[in-house]
Amino acid sequence: MLIHQFPNAVQPARVVILGAGGFLASELERVLGQANIAVRPVHPQEIDLTDAAAADRVAALLEPQDAVIMPAALTPDKGKDVATLMKNLRMGECVCAALARSSVAHFVYVSSDGVYDGRFSSLLNEDSSTEPTDLYALMHIARELMLGQTCRERKIPFMVVRPAAIYGPGDTHNSYGPNRFVRTACKNGKITLFGGGEERRHHSLVGDVAEILKSCVLRRSTGVINAATGEAISFRDLAAMIIAAAGREVALECLPRSNPITHRHFDTAALARAFPEFAATPLATGIARTVAGMVSRA
């Protein structure tokens, strides 16, 4: 359940971004800057959160009136093994230790919709089962629990935002879906689907997720919210949308399927109730922006 500590938006004194410079973090910094919110980005080059000695350095830069957002994580493209899991857990341990030494006004953890176990239902909401089915999901659930317990002990308002698959200009992950499809369509004139691309998924534009995070900070929200926007669409229909936006000939290739067909639909009612002023970017508009961004970077 999401609760706003502030009934109306209140500008935070400063927002600290742990794991700055990444795909979402860079867009978040831009969105907060446009709103004239003071931002203190913490890049991995400045503080490596996997370093056991980093907790003191994080604690030293935190101030009591800070709102802290943590999108820092090694995503599956960086590794799906135990070593990657442990690095991510060390990041969580580091931040917990820093919070234990230096309290803040608000903490927002950026998790993932990957925590949901879709085996029992294809319609998901914030109360759906989060029994981990892989190491990436386990990592996020563990960090949610670790950070949540620390914040409760320190009486820090704690918020978890679970985005659906994020896409948009400047993506660095090349995940299956809009990001990879746009990249291969623009560079190679080809989109490759598994099976017939029947699976239906939600896709959230990076700017929309940044706006939701900003709204959480402005209202000092606590609880859990899914940053899933729009409606689920099949990968085949998504590919057709990208081909239409590409403005060039694009071949559609289908590879044999290695996994059974699964769908993931989100009930977004909680997001609509929490932030009725938020308007998600239509998928076709977001795809056009992503294609334009890819072309401009070519």
The pLDDT, as a whole number, for residue 120 is: 61
Same domain, residue pair 150 and 241: no
Q: What is the pLDDT of residue 172?
A: 80
Per residue in 42-70, pLDDT (tens digit) is 999 999 999 988 999 999 999 999 999 99
Whether residues 281 and 217 fall in one domain:
no
Please give the residue range of the domain that contains residue 124: 3-165+204-227
Q: Are residues 90 and 49 in the same domain?
A: yes
Burial of 177 (0-12, 13-18, 19+ CB in 10 A): buried
Are residues 152 and 260 located together in one domain of the fold? no
Within this chain, do residues 33 and 138 fall inside the same structural domain, yes or no? yes
Q: Do 112 and 147 belong to one domain?
A: yes
pLDDT of residue 298: 54
Within this chain, do residues 27 and 157 fall inside the same structural domain, yes or no? yes
CATH number of the domain that residue 263 is part of: 3.90.25.10
Tell me how many domains the chain contains: 2
Ranges of the chain with pLDDT below 50? none
pLDDT at 279: 93
289/153 same-domain check: no
Tally the C-alpha atoms within 13 A of residue 185's C-alpha that lie toward its C-beta: 31
Structure confidence by residue, pLDDT tens digits, 83-96: 999 999 999 999 99
User: Domain check: are 148 and 96 in the same one?
Assistant: yes
**Does an H or E element contain 193, and which?**
strand 190-194
The domain that contains 60 carries what CATH number? 3.40.50.720
Do 249 and 223 lie in one domain? The reply is no
pTM score, two decimals? 0.94
Q: Are residues 128 and 209 in the same domain?
A: yes
Q: Which run of H or E residues covers position 271? A: helix 269-274
Are 124 and 16 in a shared domain? yes
What is the 8-class DSSP label of residue 266?
E
